[in-house]
Structure 1
Amino acid sequence: MENQTVITEFVLLGLSNDPQVNIFLFLVFLIIYAGTLFGNSAIILVIRNEASLHTPMFFFLSHLAFVDICYSSVTVPKMLQNLIAKQKTISVSGCLAQIFFFVHFIGTEVFILSVMAYDRYVAICHPLRYSAIMKQQLCRQLVGGAWAMGFLDALTNTLPLLNLRFCRLNTIDHYSCEIPSPLSLTCSDTFFNYVIMYASSVFIGVTSFLPCLISYVYIISAILKIQSAKGRSKAFSTCSSHLIVISLFYLSAFFRYLRPSSLSLKELDRVASIQYSVLTPMLNPIIYSLKNNEMKISFEKLIKKLIH
């Protein structure tokens, strides 16, 4: 071990070896990232400046938009740099920092989605008690809990990585650092790291997804009891955008982190990773804006105000 060279940086292979393809991908992902920043910033700005949107649902949505900006910014700028750079490298410490913040923001995102599901459950199943239940203090506590859970998840997964030695290959067949990437390159024993990764993924997945599932079982049951078709449509429209976002996010994230490590599907891994780390943050503001009339009206008012 003492005679082996200790690795201090990793080479990220990215998405393609073709320079022309990389330039095309750079332009595509630059547009997507710009759309992510603009769309989510616009949602935060509209919610903050429109008094009619100062409700629990939009309070949670503004935090979701902020988290989308954060975790997209952890990976996409580095990916854009590597698409046009000759040296596609990242330091070991930079890789571990990227993993920490990515896991932190992803963990925060899934719990905010759970909180939003609970909010929709209260709104549809207990409309008369909604204001009494979803008080400002509770909303802040729920969001604070989401950020705390994300931080603990990141700390739990990143601290064991600090003890790893990298002295073999230094090539990561991916465009960013995620937990499985450095584990495949270390010359240290990784059994404990894999146990932590799978255990935390299952724990975070279950504790965040189960509230969503239970909430929507009650929500769908309540909607089906509504006699008028117009009433059912209106009730479903209040949670359909959230349901779409949950489906997009969980399906791709579960495939990446909870499938057996023996099942090697590198191309699908990249697609799944791009879905939840690049595309979903951009799609969230589009989905919520198109499916929510209040957001549409508020956007129009803001645009008119800026023009005049």
Structure 2
Amino acid sequence: MSDQVPVISMRLPQREFAEAFGASFERFGFAMVEDHGLDQELVDQAWEKTREFFALPDAEKRAYVLQGRAGARGYTPFGTEIAKDAQHVDLKEFWHVGRDLPEGHPLSDSMPPNIWPDRPAGFRDALEPLFGEFDRVGGQLLAAIAIYLGLNDDWFEGPVSDGNSVLRLLHYPPVDGTAPGIRAGAHEDINLITLLLGAEEAGLEIKGRDGEWLPVNPPQGALAVNVGDMLQRLTNHRLPSTTHQVRNPDAGRASKARYSMPFFLHLRSDFPIRTLPGCIDAEHPNRYPDAILADDYLRERLIEIGLMKA
């Protein structure tokens, strides 16, 4: 395979798509996916409301910081999150939309209800259904991964049912040349898979096997999709969670803000992450003989990136 992350159409027959998508995941930990079927009207509305929200006064945005919730819902201010082992905080701010569970649901302790800002008008109306759209398309991508791994195409349905997924609205303000750090330091995602809109603006890079940084620039409207640490662990590293970053813009773009919209697709909080038997053999012994609950794993990682206190 060439040293470019491929662009793959979801209009391909399911098994053909699964083979191409899975092969890209196995080689790069990333794939670019077009013809994904996300409701474009909802996507357009969400971009509009995202820009309007982040243009609000800082004090107004900070009214939606939820203390003690590790940024799981609402607003996380600029300069809060830091990549594992990084020296400087990321140059970004973000808003989180999660799954709302019915009252009395057994997973409610790990998944608080959403909060919604008073402004801009229509924010909830745009973002709530878009969460559902990402969830739907994410399920289709997981079905392809299941097929690639030799599992039934519905294997992931139970593990992600009522999963702790999060839609993040990201704003990277214009970059001051004297600012320490970069927009998003080198990191791996915690979750199962990530579906990202907005990577057309240059900056997203993945670390290749040779240690060099490789740009990922999807076609307009396409998704950049990547393996998270939970899927890496589940597959005994057959599907790698690749280190990636968002570098600072070149001088000509430094005065421009960058917006992106990742959907972090998570397992159920009570799902035990246990290595798939089909990913273990004599040449690939089980790296993780002990299972760990998805919520326990998430907490460990949130502490590492500064969103939760030990």
TM-score, structure 1 normalization: 0.26
Greater RCO, CA 8 A, separation 6+: 1
Which is richer in helix? 1
**TM-score normalised over the length of structure 2:** 0.26
When Rg is computed on C-alpha atoms for both structures, the one with the higher figure is: 1
Higher normalized strand content (fraction of residues): 2
